[in-house]
Structure formats: structure tokens, C-alpha cells
């Protein structure tokens, strides 16, 4: 491998000749050989939006020449196009402020910008700190990139996936609204409802969590940029944060603002905890939905078997013909990971000491992983399972007819204790409710037929 010599305040260091990063990135790469989890692409993209916007802002304040601004913006646009993805090699497990990742972006944009300046025949050259990082600090840029990438992930990946599954469940609920089935509470038989009503509960879960997500993510649209090192805005012109937020909004296509209190913005991640809490609520609902689906589809002959789901692949390496609810299993494993991510984010966010939280990389790594897993998990569950849910009408009808909890309809007519006597007799003797009721002499056959009617018990 060929190398070139780069330098920083620590001195000279060899850097691979074909890479655009510089000395500080190389030192981080050598000093933090921990795990393989790299800074997410979403953060890199957010940094590119930020650096381009900061260059435009600096030029507008008269602090950066037009040609340098154009070079930074052009290089940043190439990063946004994915042209230099392999030039951002740093892992999550680095400095807690994300300084090396900020410098990684500064160095790549400076080196690529200088290549462009040379191609354009310009004499000016970019410096990663003095130009690309002008009026900025890692302490306000990384949290800015964190918020921007998090908002993009929620609004452009997670919510569309949620809406897709929500529509499917809503459509199924309407289609199955007239199919009367037995309800279950405590995993025991309960009074009837319809399959559509049952699924409407799943649909409403997603309606509610969608609103929670949309509401909570608004708080993440406030950005730390302009706070520089400790929140005072040292070395940045007045109004710099507002101008950068304005330019980021144009670049991303989502409205962002500069945080009113930069001291809070640098040290607190309560907005992230809040938004991830909404994602955890969604995960909890998805666990419930996935579990209900696999229980209701259990069988095919020894389970509940009230619905059928698509058969996507063989389920066993030893039992021929076995098919498993694999989409439910995948989604519930996603939920388990999300719950762990939430614990990590909550703890990391609690570690803001004085003017700075230094758990930033692990916070955004887990946040973006949650958004990605939930989004892709819902799409997979929707496309490979939910759209194919169908009722097993014969099994549903049999269970309704055999359920002892239809006796609840007799309470207003013969009282709770007499109704319980009928249910217990039917269960003990293995007869139907009707047979047991008539045996007690507490009501006539006509009365039983009139009062014990599942279609009148669903509230429709």
C-alpha cells in the first residue's frame, strides 16, 4: 500500500495515499480498534448537509471566500451522493464527543475540496479546521448531525413503514368485521367479538404510536449548531446558528431551527430519549401484534388455528412439512433489540457532565439502529405475513359454539351464580351450554336461543 504524509498538532503520520481522510482520522483509526460498528451512514450524510450549510453561512457573514464555499459545498454534495462512503472508516467506540468523526468529515471535505480547487485552476486551498470547521466545534456539530440524522430516519424511513402496516391492518379489520369469534383474556375463553374488532385494536396501536412519533420528533428539530465549545458561541458570529439551521432546512427538505439554549443542546439528550421512547412504545405494540398473530395461527391441528398466514419457507430440518411463523419471530427479535437500545440510550443520555455529554456516538448508533430495524421489520412483516392473513371460518365457528363463556349473556336474566352453575356443569359433564342450561330447568330452550346469541354480544 502506498502512503502519503499528513500532519496535525501531534506531528506527522502516514495515511493511505488513496484515501481522503487526514491525520486525525488516521490516529483515531489506529487508536480505537474496538468492534466493527462504524459511525452510521445517516450521521455521515447529516454531517455533509451541516458542513455545506455552515460554509454557506460563513460566506454570508463574510468569513469565507466564495470559491472556498463552493468547493466545500461541491465536496459535501459528493458525500451526499455516496461517492466517498469508504473514506469514513471510524467506529462508534471513539471519543464520546464524536470529535474524530467531525474531523474525519472536515479532512475529507478539505482534501476533496482542494482537489476540486486545483481542477478549477484556483490558488486558494482549504484547511480542515480553519475553513471546513469555521465557527464550529465538534461539541455542537456532532449533536447537530445526531439530531438531523435521527429526524430523517424517523420521518423518511420509520413512519412510512408504519403507515404501510397500519393500512394493511386497517383494511383487514374492515374486511373481517362480521366474523364472530371467541375472545380471550388471561389466555382463557372470554366473551365473543369479531375478528375485525380484534384487529382494529392492532390498527389503533399503530395510529396512536404514529402520532407519538410525529409529536416527539419535533423536539429533535432544534439544533445545537452555534453553541461551539461550551454553548457560548465563542468564535462564531452572532446569528450563525440560525443561518446554518436555515440552510440545513433547505438542504434536507425538513424544517430545523437553532436551539434557543445551547448549554442545554450540548449536554442533554432528553429529546432523543423522548423520541426513542415513542419508538419503544411502537416496539411494544409490534411485540403484541406479532405474538397475537402467531398464537391465532398456531397449529395447524393442535393449536388455535383461527387465522392462516402465508407459508414462506420450510420450518424444520427434521420435521417434514412443518411451517413456522417466522415473520413474527423476526419482528419480536427486533423488539428485543430495541428494548436493549432504549436502555443504552437512556443510560447514555443521563451521563451529561457539566457542559458536555460524551456518549454521543453510542446514542445515535442505537437510535438509528432502532429506526432501521423497526422500519425494515414492519415492511417485512407486512409484505410477508400481514397482507396474507385470512380467517379460518370453520375453526372460528367451532370455537364460538363450544365456548362456555357465552353463558355471560345469561347474567342479566338468571343471575351470575346460576349462570356459573350452568357453565361448570357443562364443563364437568362435557356437554354444551344449552344442554346444561335446559338440564337445570332455569330457562326454556326458546329463552336460551334468544338470550345466548353471539351476534348480539359483539356490540355491533
Catalytically active residues, by annotation? 186, 316
DSSP string, 327-375: HHHHHHHHHHHHHHHHHHHHHHHTTEETTEES-HHHHHHHHHHHHHHHH
What is the SS3 string spanning 29-52?
A: HHHCCCCCCECCHHHHHHHHHHHH
Dist. CA 400–CA 457, nearest whole Å:
12
Cα angle, residue 91 at apex, residues 277 and 76 outer, rounded to 5°: 90
**Chain-centre distance for alpha carbon 146:** 15
How far is CA 76 from each of CA 42, 46, 82, 342, rounded to the nearest angstrom?
A: 14, 10, 10, 32
Report the helix count and the strand count for the chain, using DSSP H and E.
Answer: 17, 10
Under a CB-based contact definition with an 8 Å cutoff, are residues 172 and 245 in contact?
no
Dist. CA 63–CA 61, nearest whole Å:
6
Say how many C-beta atoms besides its own lie within 10 A of residue 131's C-beta.
23
Radius of gyration for the alpha carbons in the chain, expressed in angstroms and rounded: 30
Beta strands, E only, 178-273: 180-185, 188-194, 222-223, 257-258
Amino acid at each position: 500500500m502506498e502512503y502519503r504524509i499528513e500532519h496535525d498538532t501531534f506531528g506527522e503520520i502516514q495515511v493511505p495515499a488513496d484515501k481522503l481522510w487526514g491525520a486525525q482520522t488516521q490516529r483515531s483509526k489506529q487508536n480505537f480498534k474496538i468492534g466493527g460498528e462504524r459511525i452510521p451512514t445517516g450521521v455521515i450524510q447529516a454531517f455533509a448537509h451541516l458542513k455545506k450549510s455552515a460554509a454557506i453561512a460563513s460566506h454570508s457573514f463574510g468569513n469565507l471566500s466564495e470559491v472556498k464555499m463552493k468547493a466545500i459545498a461541491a465536496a459535501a454534495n459528493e458525500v451526499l451522493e455516496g461517492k466517498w462512503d469508504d473514506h469514513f472508516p471510524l467506529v462508534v467506540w471513539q471519543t464520546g464527543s464524536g470529535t474524530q468523526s467531525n474531523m474525519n468529515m472536515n479532512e475529507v471535505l478539505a482534501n476533496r475540496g482542494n482537489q476540486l480547487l486545483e481542477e478549477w485552476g484556483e490558488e486558494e486551498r482549504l484547511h480542515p479546521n480553519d475553513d471546513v470547521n469555521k465557527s464550529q466545534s465538534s461539541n455542537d456539530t456532532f449533536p447537530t448531525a445526531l439530531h438531523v440524522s435521527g429526524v430523517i430516519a424517523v420521518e423518511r424511513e420509520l413512519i412510512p413503514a408504519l403507515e404501510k402496516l397500519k393500512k394493511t391492518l386497517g383494511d383487514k379489520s374492515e374486511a373481517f368485521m362480521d366474523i364472530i369469534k371467541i375472545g380471550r383474556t388471561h389466555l382463557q375463553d372470554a366473551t365473543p367479538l369479531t375478528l375485525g374488532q380484534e384487529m382494529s385494536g392492532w390498527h389503533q396501536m399503530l395510529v396512536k404510536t404514529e402520532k407519538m412519533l410525529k409529536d416527539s420528533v419535533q423536539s429533535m428539530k432544534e439544533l445545537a449548531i452555534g453553541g461551539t465549545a461550551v454553548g457560548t458561541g465563542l468564535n462564531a458570529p452572532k446569528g450563525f446558528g440560525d443561518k446554518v439551521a436555515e440552510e440545513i432546512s433547505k438542504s434536507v427538505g425538513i424544517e430545523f431551527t437553532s436551539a434557543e439554549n445551547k448549554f442545554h443542546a450540548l449536554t442533554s439528550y432528553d429529546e432523543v430519549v423522548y423520541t426513542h421512547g415513542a419508538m419503544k412504545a411502537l416496539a411494544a405494540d409490534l411485540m403484541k401484534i406479532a405474538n397475537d398473530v402467531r398464537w391465532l395461527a398456531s397449529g395447524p391441528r393442535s393449536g388455535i388455528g383461527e387465522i392462516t398466514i402465508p407459508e414462506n419457507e420450510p420450518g424444520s430440518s427434521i420435521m417434514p412439512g412443518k411451517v413456522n411463523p417466522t415473520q413474527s419471530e423476526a419482528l419480536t427479535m427486533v423488539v428485543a433489540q430495541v428494548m436493549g437500545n432504549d436502555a443504552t440510550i437512556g443510560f447514555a443520555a443521563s451521563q451529561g457532565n457539566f457542559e458536555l455529554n460524551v456518549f454521543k456516538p453510542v446514542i445515535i448508533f442505537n437510535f438509528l439502529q432502532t429506526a432501521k430495524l423497526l422500519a425494515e421489520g414492519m415492511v417485512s412483516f407486512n409484505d410477508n405475513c400481514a397482507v396474507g392473513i385470512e380467517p379460518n371460518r370453520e375453526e372460528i365457528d367451532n370455537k364460538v359454539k363450544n365456548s362456555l363463556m357465552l353463558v355471560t349473556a345469561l347474567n342479566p336474566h338468571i343471575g351470575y351464580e346460576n349462570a356459573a352453575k350452568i357453565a361448570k356443569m357443562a364443563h364437568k359433564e362435557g356437554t354444551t351450554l344449552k344442554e346444561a342450561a335446559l338440564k337445570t330447568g332455569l330457562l326454556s330452550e326458546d329463552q336460551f336461543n334468544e338470550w345466548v346469541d353471539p351476534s348480539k354480544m359483539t356490540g355491533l
